[in-house]
Structure formats: structure tokens, C-alpha cells
Structure 1
């Protein structure tokens, strides 16, 4: 592969917004093991949060995906592949990035509960502040005359 082609491929991998409109691959070899990547991501994403029992599995998957991404990019950087193979690697890297983005957006279930409790406490403090600021703090208390 020529140097300008290599630079073109690497620029595409590192381009901001490269994952916009990209599909998560159905199946991908990650660390030598075939993975139904799309199915895995959609199964986890359907829940909106990561249940405590699944957290290790998701973290392990993200770690393996990052490692696989790095290895594929390094193949292009070391010029170990033809331009056509490099273009296929770029597509797979963008798909991996898309999957990683989807998995990174998920929050652990216990953090979800904590966030809701924090939001409720913030609203309560805000309402108390507003009542004090508007002079209505005493309106809810019985008269003590």
C-alpha cells in the first residue's frame, strides 16, 4: 500500500464522527473468538442500564473490543496489509467504535438508582429554596400565636 493510501485509511479511522451512520458488525473475530457483536450490543442496550451481574461481562467485552481495535489499526500503521485489506479493516474498526460507543453510554443499574435519588434530593432542595426566597416557608406551618 502506498503511503498516501495508508494516511487516508488512518485519517478515516480517526475522523471525528466516523461512526455516524455506521453499522455494528453482525459477527466479528475479537481476540481470535467469533462474537455476535450486534446481538450482544442490542441485548445489553435494550436494558438501558447494566445489571450488576452483567457488569463484568460488559467490561470484559469493552476491553477486548478496544484491544482488537488497536491491533487492527496497528496493522494499517505498520503497512502489513494491502489497500483493500486496509479498507476492510477500517470498516471493521468503525463498526467496533460504534459498538463501543453504544456500550459506553450505558450506566450500571446501581448508578441509575443513585442518579434518580440525587435528582429527587436536588428537586427537594430547590423547592425549599424557592419557598424561602418567595417568603412562603411559613405558609405550610400552623400559626403559633
Structure 2
């Protein structure tokens, strides 16, 4: 995979509206286990609230989906896969994000954790805005020192 292709894929999966119109995958392998993801999400979403017994199952699923997303993103970041495989990974990541969004809309199980997650997301958006405004959108190496040392 070429460097510019890798950057395109990474930008695509991190785009704010990436999940708009995206479908939740019917089935996906998460942490080595095949999961009927679409059925699971629709089954849980049919309910107004998550029953006490299902809350752990939903939380575990969200945790596993987040872990799977990170692993697939790392495969793209490392660039050791073909562009076609990178495309497949990006589509799967967007599907995972769509499923996570649907599960997150069910209501937080832990209000404090939800508030912290929202604060973190707000901070991330603010930093991206500042980087763009200062002309450092491609310089961020993940260290928080975008554009330094030039």
C-alpha cells in the first residue's frame, strides 16, 4: 500500500460523518469470535432500555468492538496490508463505528463515564480544529506536538 493510500484510508475512518449511511455488518469476527452484529444491535435497540441482565452483555460487546476497531486500524496504520485489504478493513471499521453509535444511543449505563467520554470527544474535536486553524493538520504525530521542531 502506498503512503498516500494509507493516509486516505485513515482519514476516511476518522471522518466525523463516516458512519452516515453506513450499514452495520451482518456478521463480523470480533476477537476471534463470529458475531451476528446486525441482529445483536437490532435486538438490543428494539427495547426502550437495556434490562439489567443484558447490560453486561452490551457493555462487553461495546468493549470488544472498540478493541477490534483499534486492532483493525493498527493494521492500516502499519501499512503492511494491500490497499484492497485496507479498504476491507476501513469498511469494517466504519461498520463497527455504526454499531457502536447505535449501542451508545441506548443510554449510558454509567453517567460519569459517559460525561468523561463526551469531554474527551469535545477535546479531540477542539484539538483538530486548532490544528487545522494553525495549518498543522498533517503534522500531528500523535504526541501532541504538532508542527514543532520544523
Under TM normalisation by the shorter chain, which class is it? 0.7 to 0.9
Please state how far the C-alpha of 1:48 moved relative to its aligned partner: 2.4
Aligned counterpart, 1:130: none
The runs of 5 or more residues in structure 2 that have no matched partner are 112-150
C-alpha RMSD of the superposition: 1.4
Please state how far the C-alpha of 1:49 moved relative to its aligned partner: 1.2
**Structure with larger Rg:** 1
Q: TM-score, normalised by structure 1?
A: 0.74
What's the CA shift string for 1:89-116, capped at 9, x where partnerless? Answer: 000000000000000010269x9xxxxx
Aligned counterpart, 2:114: none
Please state how far the C-alpha of 1:3 moved relative to its aligned partner: 0.3
* Aligned 8 A contact 1:22 1:98 in 2: yes
Matched, 1:26 2:34: no
What's the CA shift string for 1:41-84, capped at 9, x where partnerless? Answer: 00000002111110000000000000000000000001121000
Pairing of 1:78-89 with structure 2 (within 5 A): 78-89=78-89
Aligned counterpart, 2:75: 75
- Between 1 and 2, higher relative CO (CA 8 Å, sep ≥ 6) is seen in 1
* Aligned 8 A contact 1:52 1:108 in 2: no
Aligned partners of 1:86 and 1:78: how far apart in 2?
A: 10
Q: TM-score, normalised by structure 2?
A: 0.71
Moved runs in structure 1, 4+ residues, more than 2 A? Answer: none
Matched, 1:2 2:2: yes
Please state how far the C-alpha of 1:36 moved relative to its aligned partner: 0.1
The runs of 5 or more residues in structure 1 that have no matched partner are 112-145
Matched, 1:14 2:17: no
Aligned counterpart, 2:56: 56
Aligned counterpart, 1:118: none
* Aligned 8 A contact 1:41 1:103 in 2: yes
Higher helix share: 1
Task: Give the length in aligned residue pairs.
Answer: 110
